């Protein structure tokens, strides 16, 4: 492992502080007042989040070179090249970021269904997604920590790989089913223990009606957003561990992708239904990264070329989006 937690705990801590500051500025300054996020604002924030990820990736490359060139333990390994290791780590970061971004498109579709079902106005959707993303960051940290421990065992690597292959095949072959929030078991359980108000009360998560404290539809939507992210994390976290076994890279690439999820939602919510072939691209990506874990890495001496991985994944995702626009769904 190039970046063990025991030596780089300060990096994790600094990164978390950075994320908290950014989130505080986001909600406390730029989105303090509830308002509808338009296309131009969503595009601006999408560019900002992507630019931040790119700048971080480039800075991480220089940081990795400096640290690896001064690590006596790694330099003592025959054939170790700090420049090549830094370049490979940087490509792994960007590949993981792209995979997570692509898999997040499914989240967007589910978010649209949830907001539509509960009739959440556009001006309150950002608040739900903000706290939803905050919860997602916490759950992803837990998943990544667990994955970094389990991934050290070969049988777990194979298990993850087989799981991703099976999931990818299901995505390719299974017919699309409509998302039905009213049939969600979590929602049914919540209504048994917590009274839910039939109406919103501004952007509040709780309200009082006839002296009874009740959850608003805004809170219910938030809970379903959190649950949906946990479900999607089951696919996305193993997929990034298929690209790199470095928890530091998995952590940072995952977090940057999640931070930009809200802006991507407001940017693509109205057109995500047009990406009808994207699911096939995502399915093939899952199959590919699964094959990396169970077969391709061993064929290539332990590491499938990360440059090839980036090219293959980008081609599959970009190609499926391009085909979706070339062959749009015919209107009946």
What are the pLDDT digits (tens) for 171-187? Answer: 898 776 666 766 777 77
Which of 313, 40, 326 is CA-nearest to residue 164?
Answer: 313
| pLDDT of residue 24 exceeding 90 | no
Highest mean pLDDT among 104-113, 150-159, 245-254: 245-254
pTM (two decimals): 0.88
What are the pLDDT digits (tens) for 282-307? Answer: 999 999 999 999 988 888 877 889 88
pLDDT of residue 252: 96
Q: SS3 of 211, please?
A: coil
282 within 8 A of 119, measured Cβ to Cβ? no
| pLDDT of residue 258 exceeding 80 | yes
pLDDT of residue 28: 67
Please compute the mean of the pLDDT values over residues 79-87 and round it to a whole number: 92
Looking only at the bridges linking them, the beta strands covering 206-209 and 212-215 are antiparallel
Return the DSSP state at 196.
Answer: B
pLDDT of residue 249: 95
Q: Which residue has the higher pLDDT, 177 or 78?
A: 78
Helix axes 5-25, 247-259, angle to 10 degrees: 10
Please compute the mean of the pLDDT values over residues 99-124 and round it to a whole number: 85
User: CB under 8 Å to 280, separation ≥6 — which residues?
Assistant: 171, 172, 320
Distance between CA atoms of 229 and 307, rounded to whole angstroms?
29
Distance between CA atoms of 180 and 191, rounded to whole angstroms?
16
pLDDT of residue 247: 93
| pLDDT of residue 64 exceeding 90 | yes
Domain boundaries, the chain: 5-153+175-273
| pLDDT of residue 332 exceeding 60 | no
pLDDT of residue 165: 94
289 within 8 A of 316, measured Cβ to Cβ? no
Quote the mean pLDDT of the chain. Answer: 87
Helix axes 82-117, 217-241, angle to 10 degrees: 150
Q: Which residue has the higher pLDDT, 26 or 138?
A: 138
Alpha helix ranges (H) inside the chain: 5-25, 39-69, 72-75, 82-117, 122-150, 154-173, 185-193, 217-241, 247-259, 261-268, 278-291, 297-299, 306-326
Please compute the mean of the pLDDT values over residues 198-210 and round it to a whole number: 83
Provide the 10 A C-beta neighbour count for residue 264.
Answer: 21
pLDDT of residue 31: 67
Please compute the mean of the pLDDT values over residues 80-109 and round it to a whole number: 90
Distance between CA atoms of 311 and 150, rounded to whole angstroms?
28
| pLDDT of residue 227 exceeding 90 | no
Please compute the mean of the pLDDT values over residues 86-91 and round it to a whole number: 95
Separation in Å, CA 331 to CA 248, 274, 327: 46, 12, 12
């Amino acid at each position: 492992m190039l970046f063990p937690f025991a030596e780089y705990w300060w990096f994790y801590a600094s990164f978390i502080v950075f994320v908290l500051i950014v989130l505080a500025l986001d909600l406390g300054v730029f989105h303090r007042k509830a308002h509808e996020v338009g296309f131009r604002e969503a595009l601006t924030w999408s560019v900002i989040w992507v630019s931040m990820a790119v700048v971080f990736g480039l800075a991480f490359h220089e940081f990795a070179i400096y640290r690896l060139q001064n690590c006596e333990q790694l330099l003592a390994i025959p054939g170790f090249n700090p420049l090549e290791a830094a370049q490979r780590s940087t490509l792994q970061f960007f590949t993981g970021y792209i995979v997570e971004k692509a898999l997040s498109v499914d989240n967007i579709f589910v978010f649209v269904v949830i907001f539509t079902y509960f009739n959440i106005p556009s001006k309150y959707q950002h608040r739900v997604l903000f706290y939803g993303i905050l919860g997602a960051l916490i759950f992803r940290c837990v998943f990544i920590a667990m994955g970094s421990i389990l991934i050290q065992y070969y049988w777990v690597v194979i298990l993850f790989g087989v799981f991703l292959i099976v999931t990818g095949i299901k995505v390719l072959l299974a017919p699309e089913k409509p998302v039905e929030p009213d049939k969600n078991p979590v929602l049914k359980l919540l209504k048994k223990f917590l009274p839910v108000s039939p109406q919103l009360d501004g952007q509040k998560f709780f309200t009082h009606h006839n002296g009874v404290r009740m959850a608003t539809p805004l809170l219910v939507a938030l809970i379903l957003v959190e649950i949906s992210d946990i479900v999607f994390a089951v696919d996305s976290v193993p997929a990034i561990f298929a690209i790199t076994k470095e928890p530091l890279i998995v952590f940072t690439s995952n977090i940057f992708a999640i931070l930009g999820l809200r802006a991507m939602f407001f940017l693509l919510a109205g057109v995500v239904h047009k990406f009808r072939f994207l699911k096939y691209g995502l399915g093939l990506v899952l199959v590919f990264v699964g094959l990396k874990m169970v077969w391709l890495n061993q064929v290539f001496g332990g590491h499938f070329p990360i440059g090839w991985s980036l090219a293959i994944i980008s081609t599959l995702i970009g190609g499926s989006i391009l085909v979706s626009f070339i062959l749009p769904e015919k209107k009946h």
